[in-house]
Amino acid sequence: MNPFQRTNDSFPQSKIYSYIPNWLIYFLIFIAIITSVVFYLFPFQNEFIGNEKVAKVYFADNITNAHIELIKIFNQKYKGKIEVIPVDLPTVKFTTNKRKELITRTLRSRNSRIDIFAVDQIWVPRFAKWAEPLSGYFSKNELDQLLPQALGTCVFNDSLFAVPFFIDVGVLYYRKDLIQKIKNHDYVEEKLQEGITWDELIELKNKSMNGNYVYVFQGDAYEGLICNYFEMLGAKGESFYNKGKYDVYNPHSIKSAQKLVDMIYKNKVTPAQVAEFDESKSYEYALENDIPFFRGWPTLIRYSNLVSRTMSKLNLLGEAPLPKNSGDHSTAAIGGWNLVLSRYSSVKKEAVTFIKFILSQEIQELNYKSGSYLPILKSFYSDSKLLNKYPRLDKFKDIIQNGVHRPSDYNYTKISDVLAMYLNKALKKELSVEEALKASQMQINAILNLSYK
């Protein structure tokens, strides 16, 4: 017999229980049951036990393949310290307005469910009250490396409330294969690169396109229509806004809006369906119906649902400055998305680490190659090595330089919604242009009067 082996004869089991009170046994059983239930219902608790030092940063955006790739690289680099968790707000499910409302509701609750969120650059004034001021996190040297056209959209009331993620500008896409069928096509393509006028586009349609539709833009009642309107206003678009005052009911604004309407009903350059088009629908219609020209953004390639159906036609596209008014230069609306750090975040330091990672040359280059996001670093538009590597960016340097900003104003998003609604009614012939802009001006004045009270 093993001297260390205990038998029931040498130490009866019943004797053990005699030393433990019943109430303690019941209490221990109760604690065991509660602990099991908690760990079953809340399995995330297990993560905290083994990963107490890992800071989790929640990043909300329309998560594309480029996002997934950069997040993967970051998480690998900071493994065991910081983990970025994407919160996907896909454009196929959320329009820009719905996305804005969803983020707004989340931030109003003052919780830290979102640490970093991407916003359309025109939203920065509206989100400033929920944003962490960023000047203290970035040196002057770091900010000086960014395009002023992009960085300027991140400032409100002289404070930095965001940093740019990427910049966008309106661009004219044209089908090179269709242009090749036109007489003197070399001259036409040269003219396109110089900047064709709207009148020349109409003439081209009448003389060389058999009277078919030749141009598509975004005309639905949303911000995309406002971008097209600003581009039609051209260099004189500054008359739209001045120091908190909006003037949409003036001769130049009326003339510009009438041009958009005339493209559909008078000159028949554009199909009436554009009044229902956002970016995705306009791209799809233009490519599937072999429209030779359409307005878009450089990020066309990121519409993966479109690419899968029309890959061969995408390879036939050329890019040029948007058409211009006679005697004016081509004017593109400057767009893009910025990154905002929630003031309610509990991991601000780690979130800024991720933001700076996104601004690095390595990741800006990755975003451009994977998602066609135009970089926001000056070096991509001035460094000869980078320009030789990405010659397309040389073209966008001039387009960005001549771009036009929409107002950086707290009330702009409300006013834009009103103007888009009425311009869309004009495109649908529900109102005349003058009626639409007059009604817009009245509602805009009401918004401003209420805001100033």
Give the span between the Cα atoms of 163 and 156, in whole angstroms.
Answer: 12
The more confident residue out of 314 and 260 is 260
Give the span between the Cα atoms of 201 and 239, in whole angstroms.
Answer: 26
Whether the predicted pLDDT of 452 surpasses 90: no
Under the banding of pLDDT at 50, 70 and 90, the label for residue 340 is very high
Instruction: Provide the 8-state DSSP code for 146.
Output: B
pLDDT of residue 228: 96
Token pair listed for 14: 């019943």
pLDDT of residue 30: 66
Q: Distance of CA 292 to CAs 119, 169, 179, 374, Å? A: 32, 20, 7, 24
Q: How far is CA 197 from the centre of its chain?
A: 29
- Using alpha carbons, select from 215, 322, 195 the residue that is nearest to residue 268: 215
Mean per-residue pLDDT, 436-441: 98
Q: What residues contact 360, with CB distance under 8 A and at least 6 apart?
A: none
Q: Please determine whether the domains at 50-166+335-401 and 171-331+411-452 fall in the same fold group of CATH.
A: yes
**What homologous superfamily is domain 171-331+411-452 in, according to CATH?**
Periplasmic binding protein-like II (3.40.190.10)
pLDDT of residue 98: 85
- Across all residues in the chain, what is the average pLDDT? 88
Under the banding of pLDDT at 50, 70 and 90, the label for residue 52 is low
272 contacts 289 by C-beta, under 8 angstroms: no
Whether the predicted pLDDT of 324 surpasses 50: yes
Record the pTM. Answer: 0.83
User: pLDDT digit string (tens) for 385-412?
Assistant: 999 999 999 999 999 998 999 998 999 9
User: pLDDT digit string (tens) for 74-126?
Assistant: 999 999 999 999 999 988 788 777 888 899 999 998 877 899 999 999 999 99
User: pLDDT digit string (tens) for 149-161?
Assistant: 999 999 999 999 9
pLDDT of residue 222: 93
Percent of the chain with pLDDT over 70: 85
Give the span between the Cα atoms of 347 and 327, in whole angstroms.
Answer: 53
User: pLDDT digit string (tens) for 228-257?
Assistant: 999 999 866 666 888 788 999 999 999 999
Whether the predicted pLDDT of 301 surpasses 80: no
pLDDT of residue 27: 65
Strand order in the sheet with 317-320: 215-216, 293-296, 171-175, 317-320
CATH number of 50-166+335-401: 3.40.190.10
Mean per-residue pLDDT, 281-295: 94
Give the span between the Cα atoms of 64 and 320, in whole angstroms.
Answer: 26
Three-class secondary structure assignment of 148-209? HHHHHHHEECCEECCEEEEEEECEEEEEHHHHCCCCCHHHHHHHHHHCCEHHHHHHHHHHHC
The more confident residue out of 319 and 1 is 319
Side chain identity at residue 250, one-letter code: N
Give the span between the Cα atoms of 201 and 282, in whole angstroms.
Answer: 18
Whether the predicted pLDDT of 24 surpasses 70: no
Under the banding of pLDDT at 50, 70 and 90, the label for residue 1 is very low
State the CB neighbour count (10 A cutoff) for residue 4. 5
Give the span between the Cα atoms of 310 and 323, in whole angstroms.
Answer: 25
Whether the predicted pLDDT of 14 surpasses 60: no
User: pLDDT digit string (tens) for 41-50?
Assistant: 444 444 444 4
Strand (E) or helix (H) holding 57: strand 55-61
Lowest mean pLDDT among 6-10, 113-117, 326-330: 6-10
Domain ranges of the chain: 50-166+335-401, 171-331+411-452
